[in-house]
């Protein structure tokens, strides 16, 4: 992560290449315990990362005590106070991994605790 410095209490939960309809090309997405960070690679020979967007996980909307994060195939829709994001992954399995991690981070619990 070139442009973004992690806070001392912040932990990286997921990193991967994704696309978003609002931005052209591939983005590098990093999910931390507090934020969702989108970066874009620039340059042909010397690769540099440009910070595109940072979304705080505390801004994710809740309805009936459920985080508004929905997965449809390889797309994940995240509803926040500011905007609705549609994140497209390379496959359904990657989208499922990310969905599990972001729901755990937003709710502060694991799947086993939520289902019991």
> How confident is the model over 5-29, as pLDDT tens digits?
788 888 999 999 999 888 888 899 9
3-state secondary structure of 88: strand
Confidence tier at 114 by pLDDT (50, 70, 90): low
pLDDT higher than 90, residue 50: no
Q: What is this structure's pTM?
A: 0.84
Is the Cβ–Cβ distance between 37 and 12 less than 8 Å?
A: no
Is the Cβ–Cβ distance between 61 and 11 less than 8 Å?
A: no
For 113, half-sphere exposure in the C-beta direction (CA atoms, 13 angstrom radius) is: 7
Confidence tier at 1 by pLDDT (50, 70, 90): very low
Structure-token match 């505390």, residue found: 58
């Amino acid at each position: 992560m070139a442009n973004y410095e992690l806070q001392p209490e912040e932990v990286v939960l997921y990193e991967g290449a994704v696309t978003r309809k609002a931005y052209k090309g591939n983005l590098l997405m990093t999910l931390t315990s507090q934020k969702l960070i989108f970066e874009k690679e620039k340059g042909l020979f010397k690769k540099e990362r440009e910070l595109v967007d940072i979304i705080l996980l505390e801004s994710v909307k809740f309805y009936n005590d459920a985080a508004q994060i929905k997965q449809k195939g390889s797309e994940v829709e995240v509803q926040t106070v500011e905007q609705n994001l549609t994140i497209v992954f390379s496959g359904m399995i990657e989208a499922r991994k990310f969905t599990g991690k972001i729901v755990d981070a937003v709710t502060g619990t694991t799947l086993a605790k939520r289902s019991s």
